[in-house]
Amino acid sequence: MSTALIILAAGKGTRMESDLPKVLHKIAHAPMLWHAMRAGLSLEPARCVVVAGHEAAQVTASAETYLPLAETVLQEEQLGTGHAVAQAAAALDGFEGDAFVLYGDTPFLTEETLQAMKAARSQADVVVLGFEAADPGRYGRLVTDGDALERIVEFKDASEAERAVTLCNSGVVAADSKTLFDLIAEVKNDNAAGEYYLTDIVGLARARGLSARVVRCDESETLGINSRAELAGAEAAFQARARANLMEDGVTLLAPETVFLAWDSFVGRDTVIEPNVVFGPEVTVESGATIRAFSHLEGCHVSRDAVVGPYARLRPGAELAEGVKIGNFVEVKNAQIDTGAKVNHLTYIGDAEIGARSNIGAGTITCNYDGVFKHRTVIGQDAFVGSNTMLVAPVTLGNGAMTASGSVITQDVPEDALALARAPQQVKPGFAAKLFKMLKAKKAKQAKAKGA
């Protein structure tokens, strides 16, 4: 059966104290909205409708960036969750299949939970996701008979016996699309807030003789984000889970609490990650690599048995082949470094290709930017670049070529050739002593003038 996602993302998030829509605040370098969408994509939906409101243009652009086929509808007034879902009715008119209602500020639902809800739909007309709360507080309570859901009771309307119930409502709902919108059309706003509540569909369904069922999940999956403090807590929760998953998959983290991952980080087994390493988005590290301390990686690919760091920075477009060594205080951007090549110290490699087994000396810079355009440096196999070489792109060094230390290379260097490009050294006997004497006299004269 086909599935449609309805993701509610209209809220302003007043407690965030931000000009940015709440659902676009990031966890592990990705908007909360993307986390919710990724969870929903595990259902292989045929349609995805995002209900936007506050700063709808930004929300629409973000949704389409992650999922180009996503559709956005506008909730001009925020009149409750039922009203929000109703805005998707026209977009899904004629759709045949189940609709899942998710929330753009609830990023941690798992594939297993959503698949459990999908399976439960074969046994019930309406499926609601619930959780056992450590502190139920003012959550709506789910009154059940086994897994059958009898009603949802808002805290303010609950009796003492109902308030003692710890099974709480997450707000996540699944039902046949036509049934969902038929029920929502009957929801009234005769409550203190004057809002249309999605939760009312359970009572309406039971009044029609339809069945409702609860699927339970861990409370951590239902975490909603409404403030900066909760955002920080969500980041910590994501990182803890991501680190644990890596270690379960065979990755060694020497100081797990100091490693920070992105939402899409991939790290192969038998990789070792030392303390204080940060992953930005779009990083792949293959098996057996070593990422040494205080390194920062984003938008890069690190192959098997490569070593990165300590204190290295890999920027977008960095491609390291097997056995490459990137050492301390080295930055690599938009560059392909072939098998066994070494860039060990204090070096910038940008817009470049480095051939297999080549060695790049300390202090080397590929001078890739002329103030307007970027230019490329190509270094062949088995080349040796001497320390403190400036490679003024566009420039090519052939296989087996060498540059002398301190050279400024502005022309191509043929295979097996040595390039030496530095001014001749001059030695002037006794000049240093004369220069120091002159400078010290000048300094004393300036000090005397200040004291006068």
Tokens encoding 230: 């909760």
- Is 197 strand, coil or helix? coil
Q: Are 346 and 328 in contact (CB under 8 A)?
A: yes
Tokens encoding 353: 């290709």
Q: Give the whole-angstrom CA distance, residue 370 versus residue 383.
A: 25
Tokens encoding 88: 């998707």
The answer to whether 345 is a known catalytic residue is: yes
Length of the chain: 452
Q: Give the whole-angstrom CA distance, residue 114 versus residue 116.
A: 5
Tokens encoding 154: 């808002």
Scored b (16 or more CB within 10 A) or e, 356-368 reads bbbbbbbbbbbbb
Q: Which contacts of 395-400 are long-range, i.e. CB under 8 A and separated by 24 or more positions?
A: 399/355
Where are the extended beta strands (E) located within 47-138? 47-52, 71-74, 98-103, 126-132
User: Distance of CA 176 to CAs 34, 99, 180, 319, Å?
Assistant: 24, 6, 6, 47
- N- to C-terminal Cα separation, the chain: 94
Q: Which among 302, 235, 290, 307 is positioned nearest to 266, based on CA atoms? A: 302
List the catalytic residue out of 25, 83, 345, 375: 345
Following DSSP, what letter does each residue of 120-183 receive, concatenated? Answer: HTTT-SEEEEEEE-SS-TTPPEEEEETTEEEEEE-GGG--HHHHT--EEEEEEEEEEHHHHHHH
Q: Which contacts of 335-344 are long-range, i.e. CB under 8 A and separated by 24 or more positions?
A: 335/366, 338/381
Q: Is the peptide bond between 275 and the residue preceding it cis, with omega within 30 degrees of 0? A: no
How much of the chain is in helix, strand and coil states, percent to nearest 5? 25, 30, 45
Q: Which among 111, 224, 240 is positioned nearest to 168, based on CA atoms? A: 224
What is the CA 194 to chain-centroid distance, rounded?
A: 38
Tell me which residues are annotated as active site. Answer: 345
